[in-house]
Chain A
Amino acid sequence: MKPAVFSYHKSTSVEEAVEWLEQHPEGKILAGGQSLIPLMNFRLSRPEELLDITGIPQLDTVSQTDGRLVLGGLIRHQALAEHEQVRRAAPVLAEAASHVGHWAIRNRGTLGGSLVHADPAAELPAAMVALDATFELVSRAGVREVPARDFYLGFLTTDIMQTELLTRVSIPSADGTAFGFAEVARRPGDFALAGCFVEVGQDTSGAITWFGISGGPERREITWSSDAQERAEAILEQLDTVDILDEEAYRHHVAQVVAEEAYRKAVRGIA
């Protein structure tokens, strides 16, 4: 099928974009289009007015300020995966970005689009929850800063308002916490059946952030043990507090496996 009729507007600045959003309460933002256009092609989504934000300058940059890594909302997944500064400051994020879809999808899909679309099986929202990122949301009313840990409210639901644009994401520099990432997908590039990020503190403290197993990122704090048996029990205890969606027994098993794998990667320092 083909998309239904819409009117198209391309924005060249954040100010102009938020003004447009204010004046078009039914309007929809188009970024990389890698989630929105498939939905429009099948007419599962029929926005009447689209605002293309890909021409806004300065939103595809990476910088470091006040000990935080700052990422623009228009950075493409492939650029995130390959960026030197990101690979150094948050290797686990670069690694996760390289697992989003396929090369051709990553060349176009944007960070902001993935974070706002909030697919339950998406890597980047969960990465932001694990990394304790803060999202900068801009509307005509001003700037609102929302921690990623408060942003995800459930299946495809977030705290963003229709008039807001996600402009930037900032990530605190690691305080000695080691991160690990693992996922299982049926084929490379497919959405994960289950995946997770783990945090391993310098003591035994830490956390697991699962994705793909429920309505959104699920972060659970955990006390790590160096004993594999005790660790498996601790993982299970946390996993049992998550409401797993379909194929429950199988996903439950995969979720356990990825948690252990991500833990091992974190302690070996290989993201």
Chain B
Amino acid sequence: MKKIINKPEDLVIEMCQGMAAAHPDKIAFKSKYKLITRKTLNKNKVTLISGGGSGHEPAHGGLVGEGMLDVAVCGDVFASPSTIQVYNAILDSESDKGTLLIVKNYSGDCMNFDAASEMAEEDDDIMVEKVYVNDDIAVKDSLYTVGRRGVAGTVLVHKIAGAAAERGDSLQDVKAVAEKVIANVRSIGFALTSCTVPAKGTPTFELGDDEIEFGVGIHGEPGIARESIKSADTLAQEMVDKLLKDLPFHGGDEVALMVNGLGGTPLQELYVLNNAVYKLLEKANIKVYKTFVGNYMTAIDMAGASLTLLKLDDALKELLDAPVDTIALKQ
């Protein structure tokens, strides 16, 4: 393992402190419960809280700011924050309009965010609602599993729910629009390499030079299939086919497209992938209304990318276009 690191156990705190030092105009870091909060909290809007394990930078701290999140709760690398951390995030950012928790659908996150919201509702009478993002189509969903994972689509949920909250919408309305995004967003990813969790020091899985792992999540957990390396066009085709079938998306649809790097892939490759995807969508008569290319929801240093498509209507377009001022997203 070669990383810019002191001690693995200090990494999250030092990273958050470094982030706050770089952006004192936008965020503040409260180290006791590892909360990255907006510099100034507005009591007259619905509070948006998200978070999860660290290692997905810039998510979630980089998505805190005007038009997006109010608080990001930072767990250890790839591990959900504790119930106590989330509970304190809710207490610290209480507003007059209630709180929405945006949770990625993982067992640990769901348990901790659920338990924390119960505490805040029962002990402190704070209105708390929750939505669970599950955009990853790699995972088969059935009655017998925990369902699909939340991945890069979460960023678009933050963006749109954030705009609705900023506009002054009620808790129920912000929740409804977040759920609308969740219902209309789909993602799929692949890895060219594993990632290396600092505390472990070695790659989570081994991939040969000619192999890729298709359908990976954002924690270095294995995907659904080991495949041989292929051209960008073939890879894009495989992903777009799966995505379009899943919702399904139809000719004439308008979408937001996110080509998200997993942390170890150069921008040039992400743009190559975007080019391939763009051509395929054009062929399918799907109009790309807005594109995001970059690292938004990463898996530390994994080489690879994910594709996210969000089906849009006029209401979602308006919220997607609203101003935002965070470390990772600014418009």
Co-assembled chains A and B:
no
Residues of chain B having any CB pair with chain A under 8 Å: none
- A contact set with B: CB distance below 8 Å: none
